[in-house]
Amino acid sequence: MSPLLFAVAALAGGVGAGLRYLVDLGVARLVGARYPWGVLAINLSGSFVLGVITGGFPAAAFIVGAGLLGGYTTFSTAMLDTVALWRDGSRPAAVFNAAGMLVLGILAAIGGLALGATLAG
């Protein structure tokens, strides 16, 4: 890997982290912060876009996938939110968050792969 490619991917990761913050903040303002809807939206949209890139534009996978989407998506925050929901007594929400994130993320990635393959022709 060239130093330039590494630098571009690192910069893209920083942009992704900034986008994650803005999306999470925007969703929380829109629907409230009792449930981590922002993190769900971030991880599902990231899974979908990664599917599109992987399925149709693999040359962009390192910069967009590892860089931008690596900074944008957040498994650790999703799991911390799950533990916090459980600890606070919101057990059904905690189970939905953990299982829903996995199942919906897989479905989003599958949909993205299909769209990517279609766009690539």
Residue 87: how many other CB atoms lie within 10 Å: 10
Residue 86: how many other CB atoms lie within 10 Å: 15
Q: Widest CA span of the chain, in angstroms?
A: 49
Ligand-binding annotation for 18, yes or no, is: no
Ligand-binding annotation for 82, yes or no, is: no
Which helix H or strand E contains 44, and what residues bound it? helix 37-56
**Per the annotation, where are the binding residues for Na(+)?**
70, 73
**Per the annotation, where are the binding residues?**
70, 73
